[in-house]
């Protein structure tokens, strides 16, 4: 069985890869644990001056794997504590001291979209779909999306995207400020690696310092937002609407929400 998250470095550029292509890089407890382990390794790699985060296959990440389940934790933990703990693995990306470029090779929705927003720079696939589809499955958003999305696209556009659960293609994502640019699928990783190589030639101490300055307050705010989101997400997870939304995904049909 292959590792769910991979890491390797070429020169001064590290490559982090979500590696569950058979399941569209969906999130399981094993992937969360693997991500946390890789980020711990990444933070110790002093030769890396920049990292690229991407996915294997046609998806960056389709979000939670509802078949596998995600809410792990101690039996004495409350649901919202498990929900927040589940995201801590991905939030550890905020602790990486060098720039992280998201090479969003394919669709990124739900938690996968939230993970993409934790990167510093994003390059997307112009034909793939991206967005926070939580309202379409009866859940509150997580991973600090409610803080990050308005900062990237403005409050009005963020509200529209969150309240409708609408997905946008890579071209629109670049137009509204989610991505630096969108390119054809085959060019996503090469474009990200080329940018990473360019950053790697810059003065590394200065780049680290600039990232630290940019992230000093942002990282705290993202974690605060995720902590606020966690109990709301846990509460919505218990509703009939959420059960209907998840059933609809597994049964590949449109959900019928009744506000219960």
How crowded is the C-beta side of 234, counted as CA atoms within 13 Å? 19
| Residue whose token pair is 């979209």 | 113
Residues 77-121: pLDDT tens digits? Answer: 444 445 556 788 999 999 999 999 999 999 999 999 999 999 999
In Å, how far are 38, 152, 220 from 165, measured between CA atoms? 31, 17, 26
Q: What is the pLDDT of residue 193?
A: 99
- 68 inside domain: yes
> Domain residues for 33?
5-185
Structure tokens at 185: 């699928």
In Å, how far are 33, 251, 256 from 20, measured between CA atoms? 14, 21, 30
Residues 177-224: pLDDT tens digits? Answer: 999 999 999 999 999 999 999 999 999 999 999 999 998 888 889 999
What length is written for the chain? 260
* pLDDT surpassing 70 at residue 40: yes
Q: What is the pLDDT of residue 250?
A: 86
Structure tokens at 175: 């137009």
- Number of domains the chain is built from: 1
Q: Where are the alpha helices (DSSP H) in the chain?
A: 29-44, 79-91, 111-117, 145-153, 155-164, 170-175, 188-200, 204-237, 240-251
3-state helix, strand, coil in the chain (%, to 5): 50, 15, 30
Q: Are 51 and 38 in contact (CB under 8 A)?
A: no
- 256 inside domain: no
Q: How confident is the model at residue 7 (pLDDT cuts 50, 70, 90)?
A: very high
Residues 6+ apart with CB under 8 A from 142: 83, 87, 111, 114, 134, 226, 229, 230, 233
Using CA atoms, how far apart are residues 44 and 7, in angstroms rounded to an integer? 12
Lowest mean pLDDT segment, chosen from 3-7, 161-165, 192-196, 234-238: 234-238
Mean pLDDT of 19-47: 95
* pLDDT surpassing 70 at residue 171: yes
Q: What is the pLDDT of residue 1?
A: 63
Using CA atoms, how far apart are residues 225 and 145, in angstroms rounded to an integer? 8
- 246 inside domain: no
Which CATH number characterizes residue 142's domain? Answer: 3.90.226.10
Q: Are 174 and 181 in contact (CB under 8 A)?
A: yes
Q: How confident is the model at residue 74 (pLDDT cuts 50, 70, 90)?
A: very low
- 78 inside domain: yes
- 80 inside domain: yes
- 88 inside domain: yes
Residues 126-166: pLDDT tens digits? Answer: 999 999 999 999 999 999 999 999 999 999 999 999 999 99
Residues 6+ apart with CB under 8 A from 122: 101, 102, 104, 116, 173, 178, 179, 180
- 120 inside domain: yes
Q: What is the pLDDT of residue 75?
A: 47
- 212 inside domain: no
pTM score: 0.92
């Amino acid at each position: 069985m292959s590792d769910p998250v991979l890491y390797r470095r070429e020169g001064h550029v590290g490559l982090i890869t979500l590696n569950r292509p058979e399941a569209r890089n969906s999130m399981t407890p094993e992937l969360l644990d693997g991500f946390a382990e890789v980020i711990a390794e990444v933070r110790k790699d002093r030769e890396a001056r920049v990292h690229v985060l991407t996915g294997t296959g046609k998806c960056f990440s389709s979000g939670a794997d509802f078949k596998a389940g995600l809410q792990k934790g101690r039996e004495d933990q409350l649901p919202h504590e498990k929900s927040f703990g589940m995201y801590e693995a991905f939030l550890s990306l905020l602790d990486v001291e060098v720039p992280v470029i998201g090479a969003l090779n394919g669709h990124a929705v739900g938690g996968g979209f939230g993970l993409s927003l934790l990167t510093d720079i994003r390059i997307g696939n112009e034909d793939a779909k991206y967005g926070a589809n939580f309202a379409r499955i009866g859940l509150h958003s997580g991973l600090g999306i409610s803080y990050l999305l308005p900062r990237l696209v403005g409050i009005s556009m963020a509200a529209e995207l969150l309240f409708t659960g609408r997905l946008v293609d890579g071209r629109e994502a670049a137009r509204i400020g989610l991505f630096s640019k969108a390119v054809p699928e085959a060019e996503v990783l090469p474009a990200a690696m080329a940018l990473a190589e360019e950053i790697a030639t810059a003065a590394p101490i200065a780049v680290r310092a600039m990232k630290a300055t940019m992230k000093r307050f942002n990282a705290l705010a993202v974690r605060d937002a995720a902590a606020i989101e966690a109990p709301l997400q846990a509460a919505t997870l218990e509703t009939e609407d959420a059960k209907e939304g998840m059933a609809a995904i597994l049964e590949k049909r449109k959900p019928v929400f009744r506000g219960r």
